[in-house]
Structure 1
Amino acid sequence: MSELLAMSGIFFDEVDKICILKPEVSKLTNDLKEECQIYTEKIDEFQKIANTFIIMVEQLGKEVENQRIKAIGARNILQSMEKQKGKNHQQVQALITEKSMELERLKIQLNSLQKTEMKQNELISQLTHT
């Protein structure tokens, strides 16, 4: 009787439940279903790991960008300080030159005043001795 039913496409499983699939096909189908569920779980787990990795890489990229911007800012400040140092050096050199010229002028004026003083002292000396 079961052979006659099998020819009609009706089968009984291990608990004598009526099925339209052969028991071997039904078992393979269930096995495939379980493997697909395991595969799907592994894909989900991989996706979670990949998303975590992507987030970490994005954060690292942002940190690298922040450090790059800080480095550019520091370099710009350093260049600005070097330019300012050059300007200050030029100003100090100009001031030294100006003060040196003033010193020379004052030396000349001092010499002139000393000569005038000597002449006046000689004149006073001459006038008082006569």
Structure 2
Amino acid sequence: MNNITKDQFMLSVGLYIDESNKICIIDPQLTDKSSELKNESIELIDKTQQFQQIVDNFVEIIENLAKDVENARINAIGSRNLLKTFQQKHESDVQQLMSLIKEKKNELNRFRVQYDSLKREESEQIDLMDNLLANK
């Protein structure tokens, strides 16, 4: 036992002396590494929580954007349907107006024929009256 130093003896029985000269049962290097690992774990947890918050914010933004896009899509469909309705109404109005124009043209032709007939009759009556007055 004379050849074994005090440090070697303590190491052989599993005792260690730390930097502040306290006796420890765990190797001070392991304690330091454990503390480092604990601190790194805490940092990792903090960063993971920050990342989760960023992801949650991103998901919320994307969901809001999706809602806005869906609303715009619905509005576009409504506008397109309204435009189709206006186009159909316009086409219907054009057809009605074309029919009315055709009717009025036919009526005009009928009135022209009637006018020409009445003009001829008037002319004939004037001629008859002139003949009757001339023969008297």
TM > 0.5 fold call: yes
1:5 Cα deviation from its structure 2 partner: 4.2
SS of 2:14 mapped into structure 1 = coil
Match for residue 30 of structure 1?
35
Deviations 1:18-55, CA, capped at 9 Å, x for gaps = 43311111111011001111111111111111111111
Q: Distance in 1 between matches of 2:22 and 2:126?
A: 147
C-alpha RMSD of matched pairs (Å): 1.6
Matches within 5 A, 1:25-104: 25-104=30-109
Pair 1:117-2:122 in alignment: yes
1:77 Cα deviation from its structure 2 partner: 1.1
1:8 Cα deviation from its structure 2 partner: 3.2
Q: Distance in 2 between matches of 1:77 and 1:28?
A: 72
Q: Distance in 2 between matches of 1:66 and 1:35?
A: 46
1:3 Cα deviation from its structure 2 partner: 4.4
Q: Distance in 2 between matches of 1:115 and 1:58?
A: 84
Q: Distance in 2 between matches of 1:44 and 1:18?
A: 38
SS of 2:84 mapped into structure 1 = helix
1:118 Cα deviation from its structure 2 partner: 1.2
1:57 Cα deviation from its structure 2 partner: 0.9
Q: Distance in 2 between matches of 1:19 and 1:93?
A: 107
* Structure-2-length-normalised TM-score: 0.86
Deviations 1:63-110, CA, capped at 9 Å, x for gaps = 111111111111111111111111111101100100000001101111
Q: Distance in 2 between matches of 1:17 and 1:69?
A: 75
Q: Distance in 2 between matches of 1:63 and 1:29?
A: 50
Give aligned-pair identity as a percent: 35
Q: Which consecutive unaligned segments of at least 5 residues does structure 2 have?
A: 1-5
* Structure-1-length-normalised TM-score: 0.89
